[in-house]
Structures are given as C-alpha cells and as structure tokens.
A and B are shown apart, each in its own frame.
Chain A
Amino acid sequence: MIQKAKAHVYKRDHINTDEIIPAQYLNTDNEKELAEHAMEDIDPDFTTRVRPGDIIIAKKDFGCGSSREHAIWSLRGAGIKAVIAETFARIYYRNSINNGLLAIECKGAADHVKTGDEIEINLETGKITNTTTGKTLEFAPIPKFALDIIASKGLLNYIKQKRT
C-alpha cells in the first residue's frame, strides 16, 4: 500500500531512458549523483520539485530505449516509489522489478491525475485512487514472481534466498 504519494504527471508516450538520465551522466553508477539529473531532458525542474515517496505517471511505452539501469537508480535515488504507465518498455520493466521499484500498468491514469494530486495505490485490490479528486482506477495485477522479487528487495537477494 502506497499512501499520500504526490504525482508527477507526463501526458506523453515513449518517455525514453535518454530523457530519464542523459548519457553524459552514465560515467557513474552512484545513485545519489544520478538522482541529481533524473528526468533532466524532459523536465529540467523535476529534481527541485520531487520529494521522497512521490510517484510518476505517464502514458505508453515508458522507459523505452537503452538498457541503462541508471534510469531506475536515478528515479529511486530521487525518492520515487512507483511509476504508473499504460505500458512499459521491456528492459525498463525488468530493471524496475529487479530493483524493487514498482512499475504499475494502468490505462488512463495520466488523464485522471494532475501533477500535485495525491495518490493511493493498493497492491492487494489492484486499485489506484486519486484522493484529491476521489477517482479510482484499476490496474492489471502485478505478476507473482515480480511481487516475490520486489518483496525480496531485488533479484539478487531473491536468487540468494532461493539457493539457500
């Protein structure tokens, strides 16, 4: 359950990993340094507005482009708890799950939520509520193995637990 999460809404398809973290910053894998440049090419003010516990909402094909996990680390480092999009690019989705960052597929979220609205996400019931407007949306259940990996706090812990 995620409560009182402030939304940053991008009414756009195909937000790519070059926009989430431009290549010039890939010379580090330090999460804090990456977080200083999260979303820089799409929303230069993002890092000044984002607060720990916030979420991002976008339209189709979020995270397309390169396989850089730095995109996930920059968002997680900036305090983002979940990304809600209509669909996710494949490698981004894996990276997100593998790092324990929630990636939720939900149609229409970007149309029913405005930047600054407060959101509640209930993983058990599969519902997203915009507590600012009262509107509720349903999302596709997150696959069990993905929830298991998230519960283990990432793929490597999951593998270790399975092997011992």
Chain B
Amino acid sequence: MSMTITEKILKHHSGNEKVVPGQLINAKIDIILAHDITTPAAISMLKEHNIDKVFDPKKIIVTPDHFVPNKDIKSAQLAKRLREWVSRHNIENYYEIGRHGVCHAILPEQGHVLPGTTIVCGDSHTCTHGALGAFATGIGSTDLAASIATGELWFKVPHSIKFQLDGKLQKGVYSKDIILNIIKDIGVDGALYKAMEFKGPTIDSLSIEARMTITNMAIEAGAKTGIIEPDQKTIDYLKDRTSAKYQIVKSDPDATYEKTLHYDASEIVPTVAIPNLPSNSRPAKDLEKQNISLDQVYIGSCTNGRIEDLRIAAQILKGSKTKKGTRLIIVPATTGIWMQAKDEGLFDIFNEAHAAISTPTCGACLGGHMGVLAKGETCLSTTNRNFTGRMGHPESKVYLASPATAAASAIEGKITDPTEYI
C-alpha cells in the first residue's frame, strides 16, 4: 500500500502492519527534547504520581532556553528543577548555559535529529525537525510526562497535505517568505491536525537550515507536523554531526494526499506578516509605502536565528548603522552559532551597526525578557508569532519577516523591502 513519509514513520514506530489517516496508534518515541518551561511541570507530575523515572536517559536531550540566563527567582527555580532531574536520572545530553541554545536550533545542530525517527518536545515548534525527515510534534507537559516515563505516546495518524514548490526564488526572497505566503493562503488553522509535506525543486534547492524555517512554522497553520523528505543535503548535513545509523524514508510516488497545493516560487516576493496573526501577510513593498516606523528589530529564534540567517543580516548591515530611534537586537540561536558568528567577524559588523548581541535565549521571542516591548511599541521580528502581546505589552505590535527584511528595515527605521540591499 502506498504511503506518505509521515504514515511510514508512524507505521514503523507503532508496529502496525499498516496505518491510515484517522487511526489512533501508540508510537514509540526516539527522542524527547526538554526545556525549562514545560519540562519542570512534567517532572513534578511524574513525582506526584510516583513514577519518577525516565524510559531511556540517552534518548532525552535537555537545554534550558526560554528564560535563560534566568530572568528572575521563579525562572531560576524552574531551571534548577530541570538540572536536578537531569542529574538524578544521569541524562548525559544536557546543554548547560555556556553550551546551550534554543532547543529547536541545538537539537539538529548537535546531530540528535535523524531521518525517519519520532521526536516530541513540550513545545509547539517541535515540527522544525521535520526538515530532516523526522516525524516531530509539539506536546504539552502531561504528554511529555507520559512519554518520559514510557517512551511511547498515542497519536491520531494525520492526513497529509502536499505543498509542491517549483521555480527559482528571486533575489531578496528566502524560505521565510515562502512559508509566510503558504500560511497566508491556507490560514492559521488551514492545516489543523494535518501533516504538511513540502517538496519540489524549490525545496530541493534550499539548505537544511532554510528548510527548517519552513517546517518550524507548520504549527502556525495548525499542523501536527511539517516534513521534508531527506536527500543528499540531509545526508551531508548529518555526516559531521553524528555517527548514528538511520533510514531514509520517503513518500511513495502514488501516496494519497488530502490535497496538493502548487506554488510557483519565482512569484513570491519579500513578505511581512502584520499584527496579529502569522497569516496576515503583505508584500514588504506595499508596507514600505505606509512608512511603518519601528522601535525595535529582532533577529533570532528557532525560526531565523541560525548562522545563515546571521550571515544574510550581516551582508545587508555591513557598513551601515541602525536608524536613530530603532533598536536592533540580534540573538544567535545556539552557542555554536554564536561562536561561528564571532569567528566569521559578523559581530564586528553588528556592533558597528549598533546592534545589541545577546547570548542564546528565547528571550523576547515570547515576550519573556531581553527585549520586551512597551505599550504602543512596534517591532519587526524574524520569529514566528505576532499574536496580541506576544513580545510584550498587549498594545505592542509585532511584524514577522525574513532576516534580510529585518536588516534592511533596521537601517531604514521602518519596514523596508530588502531587494535593493542584496
């Protein structure tokens, strides 16, 4: 029977002969990713139920990221609970401050994401890891507790939607622009409960990092996961990062999709999502005419805080300064990226552009700390959500865009199409 990549992975992990969309299955979990917000609650639940155990300490990867370095006493307590649990259960893969990173950036970077595997995390953007051909999905703390104790979790096998992308991206257009356009078309619940499978020559042409920006935002269309079939680029990406064995799983050519949407990627232009939904996209050019001035520009997060993103920003910022009245905050997503950016001299460019560079953290992306917005302020951000109050005061505004659009906008102090800066 023909199956999609998602169905094949779930079949394999549930031990069933076959699976069909809608079917409830119990699947084995290969990797559990844990951070400082949702995991401490799961740990407490397990203790309360007298099942304070972990199914396999080698399969649990932990990094504090949301409120680190700890922003206050309460968040320090959470991080402490996480750290104590890690040592109680001899969890080796713990990335403490100084080696840490935003969870969805560090997991693939350190070679923990393998094609064909199942990955869960108490975080909605877990779908990021589908960029390497894994079935990865976000869960809450109770599901997390259940998977930590048992190494299994129930799922409903999702229907898959195919996004077929052909055509070459124009200058100044990046994978962020692709996913913003897709979400605009289908809406923030356009893929509710579904698997979004991205394929075609445009996807093939993208780096693994650029693919991650796309799968990262699958949840912004309500999807259970976003997934891309592994290819030679995936194999090359993994070569230096892991010696673990894995299986390349792909969709059958005649697999059944709920629907297929076609895109000509050469028609996509630099795009910005306006408040308060990621689906509210407009061409950056149109917004440029509206003179939307910016109090803050934020470059970072699990969506666009990787080395390629920082390189793109640096290329545009080189020799320029952030406009007076606009603050630029740049947050490399992991310690590894931070070091790489430093070694490549990107920090000199950022410093000269008057950017504030931070240690890796989720920080302002979720309105946590280190860049929270005041009442009435406006921010252009490379993150993934522009909900009411997402980055601070409920009356602050967040616009979403690519690192290129962010960098060009920082120079102009207003939303700006980056094309002429490339």
Interface residues, chain A, CB within 8 Å of chain B?
13-14, 16, 18-19, 22-24, 26-29, 41-42, 60-61, 64-70, 72, 87, 89-91, 94-95, 98-99, 145, 154-157, 159-160
Contact = CB atoms under 8 A, between A and B. Distances in A.
Most chain-B CB neighbours within 10 Å: which of A13, A16, A145, A154?
A16
A90 B270 CA distance: 30
A27 B192 CA distance: 29
Interface of B: 24, 37-38, 40-41, 44-46, 49, 51, 66-67, 71-72, 74-75, 78, 122-124, 138-143, 145-146, 149-150, 154, 188-189, 192-193, 222, 224, 277, 366-368, 372, 385, 387-390, 394
A87 B187 CA distance: 14
A156 B124 contact: no
A87 B192 contact: yes
Closest 5 CB pairs of A and B: A95-B140, A27-B74, A98-B142, A69-B140, A29-B41
B49 A157 contact: yes
B163 to A, nearest CB: 19
Given A27-B74, A69-B140, A69-B142, 14 more contacts: A22-B389, A23-B367, A24-B367, A24-B368, A26-B66, A61-B192, A66-B123, A66-B366, A67-B124, A69-B141, A98-B140, A156-B146, A159-B146, A160-B49
Nearest to B121: A67
B365 to A, nearest CB: 9
B251 to A, nearest CB: 22
Nearest to A93: B193
Given A19-B387, A42-B388, A156-B49, A14 B277 contact: yes
A94 to B, nearest CB: 6
Contacts of B372: 24
B75 A90 contact: no
Contact of A95 (B46, B142, B366): B142
Contacts of B193: 90
Nearest to A29: B41
A64 B222 contact: yes
Contacts of B146: 98, 155-156, 159
Given A22-B367, A24-B367, A156-B49, A69 B78 contact: no
A71 to B, nearest CB: 9
A26 B277 CA distance: 22
A27 B368 CA distance: 9
A29 B40 contact: yes
A64 to B, nearest CB: 6
Contacts of A42: 388
B330 to A, nearest CB: 21
Contacts of B71: 27
B388 A23 contact: no
Contacts of B143: 94-95, 98, 155
A150 B141 CA distance: 16
B368 A23 contact: yes
A91 B124 contact: yes
B387 A16 contact: yes
B189 A41 contact: no
A94 B385 contact: no
Contacts of B66: 26
